[in-house]
Amino acid sequence: MTDRPDLSSLPSYKAPRRSLFSARKLALMASVVAGLGAATYGLSPTHNPADLFTTPAHAQVNNEVKKVQQPVGFADIVERVKPSVISVKVNIREKVAKDDGNNDDSPFQPGSPMERFFRRFGGPDGLPPGLRGGPRGGGVVTGQGSGFFISADGYAVTNNHVVDGADKVEVTTDDGKTYSAKVIGTDPRTDLALIKVEGGSNFQFAKLSDSKPRIGDWVLAVGNPFGLGGTVTAGIVSASGRDIGNGPYDDFIQIDAPVNKGNSGGPAFDVSGEVMGVNTAIYSPSGGSVGIAFSIPAQTVKSVVAQLKDKGSVSRGWIGVQIQPVTSDIADSLGMKKAEGALVAEPQANGPAAKAGIESGDVITAVNGEPVKDARELARTIGGLAPGNAVKLNVLHKGQDKTVNLTLGQLPNSLEAKADTNNDGDKGNSSRGTDVPKLGLTVAPANSVAAPARKAW
């Protein structure tokens, strides 16, 4: 018989109870939990791993993913640029003719419809609010707009129509301080004005962008809508190169950020915090924002402001022609492949173009080698050059391409039709037996008049 070992001296042994999970399942569960923990706390290593046992692992992951995907917003940009934006307040003293009892041209004569209307809705004296202040006039009109600093020493940009005719200009900064300002110069053709704030030397200012915005880029409009003070709205660039009939230099950026009355002259910022344009106009049947606003591009602002700061006005090149668009029919009749360029309707007498041999019916197709897309582009290109510069024009003349060299003149401040001073003209059939006065207007049968020119510039 074989001897068996004596086990009585060993501690008693009890078989373990059956575990809920096998060793393989436990190992698998441990690896899953470890993986979740790594995924979760890889995003936020400061968390305590014990949190996994107080919040479900999938909830931890979802919370962290939400934090990562949350929209950034514009708060950081606004915080940086908003102090450079100002509110502009102006006082304009209206100059109204004294009522001496013989002012028959006034629409506010006693008993007139306008007088009755304003007596009912405007005030007891039968005058609109802006025309009060004395027996018949001398009132002060106030207006508000927006602007922004472009230098630390207080130079600021706004719209010409905000400060036009102002007797007094005040600006209020983002921190609520009020300063007096003076108008350095204005440019009605682009609706820009440069003002200088007095009494400060360390203002936070904005930078004008060097790049052209793309359609679809974000834009932030900051200004003083309805006199409420610094307000921020957001949108995108909707279009570029818009012509709204404001003048021959129209080249507006269209944005859909809400812009209202009082936003005029305020900046439109890009996401880099640079000014892409100056808000100047809105399209609105009701007078409120409908999401169509127009901004003057930063490149235009740069060139205009530089001249305003230097000499208080803007000098533009001038070639002395009246131009009109090249339509498809005109292009076909001239044998052109594309309807591009600017058709010369009439060269002005003694202007640079006339002296260089440019004639009616010629088409200007390029300036200094750069193609001219349309009549507006020609106006902007020539207007952007300084008077006295020599330029080379490519011209389609009687079906032949030719090059014309000329020296730019200076665009007159006002282009007005002049009356014919020829004393041999026809006499008018006046019942009073006098000549028809020269009004700078000539009337002729429609079939004897050439197609109308776009604009004189």
Give the pLDDT confidence of 230-277 residue by residue, as tens digits: 999 999 999 999 988 877 788 999 999 999 999 999 999 999 999 999
Residues above pLDDT 70, as percent of the chain: 65
pTM above 0.75, yes or no: no
Q: What's the pLDDT band for 288 if we cut at 50, 70, 90? A: confident
Mean pLDDT, range 145-160, rounded to an integer:
96
pLDDT at 99: 46
pLDDT at 424: 41
Note if 161 is an active site residue: yes
pLDDT at 13: 47
Catalytic residue among 161, 209, 238, 289: 161
What per-residue string of b and e applies to 68-104 under the rule 16 or more CB within 10 Å gives b? Answer: eeeeeebeebbeebbbbbbbbbbebeeebeeeeeeee
Average pLDDT, the chain: 77
pLDDT at 437: 37
pLDDT at 15: 47
Catalytic residue among 84, 146, 187, 191: 191
Cα 111 from chain centre: 44
Q: Residue 260: which of 240, 294, 296, 287 has the closest Cα?
A: 287
pLDDT at 273: 96
For residue 322, the surrounding DSSP H or E stretch is strand 321-325
Residue 119 burial (CB count, 10 A): 15
More confident residue, 112 or 11: 112
Mean pLDDT, range 350-369, rounded to an integer:
93
Contacting residues for 394 by C-beta, under 8 A, at least 6 apart = 364, 365, 366, 367, 369, 401, 402, 403, 404
CA gap 147, 159 in Å, rounded? 8
pLDDT at 331: 92
The string of pLDDT tens digits covering residues 105-138 is 555 556 666 555 555 544 444 455 444 444 445 5
Note if 264 is an active site residue: yes
Catalytic residue among 87, 209, 238, 264: 264
Mean pLDDT, range 40-68, rounded to an integer:
50
Say which range, 69-83, 183-197, 200-214, 397-411, has the weakest mean pLDDT.
69-83
Q: Which domains does the chain have, with CATH numbers?
A: 32-63 (no CATH), 84-97+108-197 (2.40.10.10), 218-310 (2.40.10.10), 315-457 (2.30.42.10)
- Integer-rounded Cα Rg, in Å, for the chain is 36
